[in-house]
Amino acid sequence: HRAALRPAFLPSAVARLESRIEELCASMWADAFGADGSGDFVARFAFPFPAAVIAELLGVPAADRDRFGEWSHRIVEGLGGGDLDAYERATREIWSYVGKLVDERLAAPVVDGSVVGAGSASPLLEHAASADTIAATSTTPLRLIAGW
């Protein structure tokens, strides 16, 4: 089932988003270090940037991206022996979010080059009838967590 996502992560697909990734990098860098030029590089940039790029590839609206950091943190802590209730809630929430995002894109396709965008650049939507179809086979939430 990873094969359905593979085309979206090929160098040619990522290259189509190169200018957007550069804009994202510059914006995140300015937000992290623009005021005084100092701070924790890992916490302010190296940690959130890969997840922001993955979210961009997946078509997650910018306003929702911080939610993935919280969900990812709870999931990783739970897997490491932490709060299993928080892990289960975060897992349900992330799958629910991705399902809603996919349903929205199925109902009103957006051509944005993302994995859940419309057109040939959208391997998830090409053969999907619903978010349930995708959720049953998708590694989308896991890719977002991996970025965090």
Number of Cβ within 10 Å of residue 87's Cβ equals 18
Q: What's the rounded Cα separation, in Å, for the pair 12 and 10?
A: 5
Who has greater pLDDT, 50 or 106? 50
Number of Cβ within 10 Å of residue 124's Cβ equals 25
Provide the pLDDT confidence category of residue 17 given band limits of 50, 70 and 90. confident
Q: What's the rounded Cα separation, in Å, for the pair 124 and 116?
A: 6
Q: Identify the pLDDT of residue 120.
A: 41
**Average predicted confidence (pLDDT) for the chain:** 75
Who has greater pLDDT, 123 or 80? 80
- Contact status, residue 113 vs residue 41, Cβ threshold 8 Å: no
Q: Identify the pLDDT of residue 70.
A: 81
Is a pLDDT exceeding 70 seen at residue 28? yes
Q: What's the rounded Cα separation, in Å, for the pair 84 and 91?
A: 10
Who has greater pLDDT, 147 or 108? 108
Percent of the chain with pLDDT over 70: 69
Query: Each residue of 36-63: b (16+ CB within 10 Å) or e?
Result: eeeeeeeebbeebbebbbbbbbbbbeee
Give this prediction's pTM: 0.65
6-15, 76-85, 138-147 — which is least confidently predicted? Answer: 138-147
Who has greater pLDDT, 142 or 83? 83
Helix (H) or strand (E) holding 148: none
Q: Identify the pLDDT of residue 143.
A: 55
- Contact status, residue 103 vs residue 116, Cβ threshold 8 Å: no
